[in-house]
Chains A and B, each alone.
Chain A
C-alpha cells in the first residue's frame, strides 16, 4: 500500500479560515512512515481542525496535503482507504449490534472476507464476547472498543486519533496503548491529546500547535516529560 519514496503525510502551507478568521495559518509538517506523532495545543488551537482536514472531513482553505503521496483533496476516495480515524464520536449505530456495525462499515470499505477480518480484529481487541449486543445497550468502554475496531477494520497504514483518551475507561485506554505500541513501526499515527503523560509516553515525536502553525516539534527521546511540560508552558503560555 505504501508507495516508495513518498512520506506518510506531508502538509504544506495548510490554512483553514472560517470567514476571515484563520484557525490554521500556513501549517507545514512532515510525518514519516512508522512514526507516532502527538500534537498538543491549548483549546481552540486548531488540533481537531487539523485532524478533520487530514481525515478529508473538512476542506482546506488553501495549502496542500499529500497522504501516501496522494493529493488528499483530489484523491479523497483513495486517501480514506489509507486512514483510520478515531474521535470522541463513536460513529456507531445504536440500534445495530456491534457485529452489524462492523459488517456495515466493512462492506462500505469493500473489504475482502469481511467476516474473517472482523473475527481477527475482534480477537486482537478482545471484543468478541459482546459483539452481538446492540450498541445502545453497551457500556461506554465497550463502545469505545467497538469504535476502535471500526477504525482499523480496513487495516489502514495511517491512524488519526483526535483526543482518543478523552472519556474512556482503563481497559480501553490499555488497548489503545497496546494498539499504538504494537503498531509502532507498522502504522503511522498522528494523535492529538490533552494528556501530556500519555501522549509523551506513546509517541516518537511531539509537536505543539500555536497561532495556527506547528511552533515546536521534537523527538520524544531527546526530552523528559518534565522538560517537555516546561517547554509546553513556554510555547503556549498555559500549563494545560
Chain B
C-alpha cells in the first residue's frame, strides 16, 4: 500500500512538473472551452429568462468537448520518446500506471474547469458558485477522467486517435452527462441536496464501476 502511494505520487508529480513547464493540456482545454462559450453566445439568443434553463447544457457541452481534446492527447506525451516503455520497464504495476495517469488527467481537467466557471458566470451572468455544483463537477470529472484515461490508451494505439476517442468516450459516458446536466440544472433553479441525491448516486456508481473496470483491464491496452 505504501509503495503504491509512493509510485503513484512519483508519477503524478512527474506529470505535474511536465505540465507546469509546457502547459499543453490545461491551455488547450481552456482555450477550446472559451471558444465554445463564445460560439454559444452567438448561436443562442440568451435572454435572462432562458439562460437559467440553458446554462447547465452549455456548461457541460463545454466541459465535455474541451475535456475530450485533452483526453485525446493524454498519452501523446508518453509516446514522444516512448517513455511509456520506460514506465513499463520499471517494476511499477500496470494498475499504478493507470491510477497515476487517471489522477493527473483529473487534476488537469478539474483545473481547467475551475477556471471556466468564473468566466462562464461573468459571460452569461449566472452564478455557479455553489458547493453542490462543485460536488457534481468533481464527481463527474472523476468519471470522465477514469474511463477517459482507459479509452485514451486504446485510441492512442489505433490509426486514428482523433476519430476513435470521441466515438469510444461519448456513448459510454451518456449516463453521467445526463446526471450532471440535470443535477446542475436543479441546483441553479434553487434545488437542494435532496433533489439531486439520486443523480449524484448514479454518478458515484458510474465512477466506481469505471475505476474498477479500467484498473482491471488497463494492462490489456498496453501489451503488444
Contacts and interface: CB of A to CB of B under 8 A. Distances in A.
In the complex they form, whether A and B have CB atoms below 8 Å apart is answered with yes
Contact of A95 (B18, B82, B89, B92): B18
Contacts of A196: none
Interface string A82-97: 0101010111111110
B91 A110 contact: yes
A150 interface: yes
Interface in A91-130: 91-96, 100, 104-105, 107-110
A56 B88 CA distance: 8
A104 B81 contact: no
A93 B223 contact: no
Contacts of B224: 52, 57-58
Interface in B1-42: 3, 6-7, 10-11, 14, 17-18, 21-22
B194 interface: no
Contacts of B223: 58-59
B18 A57 contact: no
B144 to A, nearest CB: 25
A81 interface: yes
A47 interface: no
Contacts of B160: none
Contacts of A91: 81-83, 85-86, 89
Interface residues of A, number: 31
Interface string A41-83: 0000000000010011111000000000000000001101101
Interface in B56-101: 77, 80-83, 85-93
Contacts of A56: 88-89
A110 B3 contact: yes
Interface in B138-165: none
A77 B93 contact: yes
Residue among A83, A92, A104 with the most chain B CB within 10 A?
A: A104
Contacts of B90: 80, 105, 108-109
Given A80-B91, A110-B91, A96 B14 contact: yes
Contacts of A81: 91
Given A52-B224, A58-B223, A87-B85, A93 B18 contact: yes
Nearest to B79: A89
Contacts of A104: 10, 14
Contact of B89 (A57, A94, A107): A57
Interface in A143-159: 150
Question: What are the 8 A-B residue pairs with the smallest beta carbon separation, nearest first?
Answer: A91-B86, A89-B82, A108-B90, A95-B18, A95-B21, A90-B81, A107-B10, A80-B91
20 contacts: A52-B224, A57-B85, A57-B88, A58-B223, A59-B223, A83-B89, A89-B82, A89-B85, A90-B82, A91-B85, A91-B86, A93-B18, A96-B14, A96-B21, A104-B10, A105-B90, A107-B10, A108-B87, A108-B92, A110-B91
Interface of B: 3, 6-7, 10-11, 14, 17-18, 21-22, 77, 80-83, 85-93, 223-224
Interface of A: 52, 55-59, 77-78, 80-81, 83, 85, 87, 89-96, 100, 104-105, 107-110, 134-135, 150
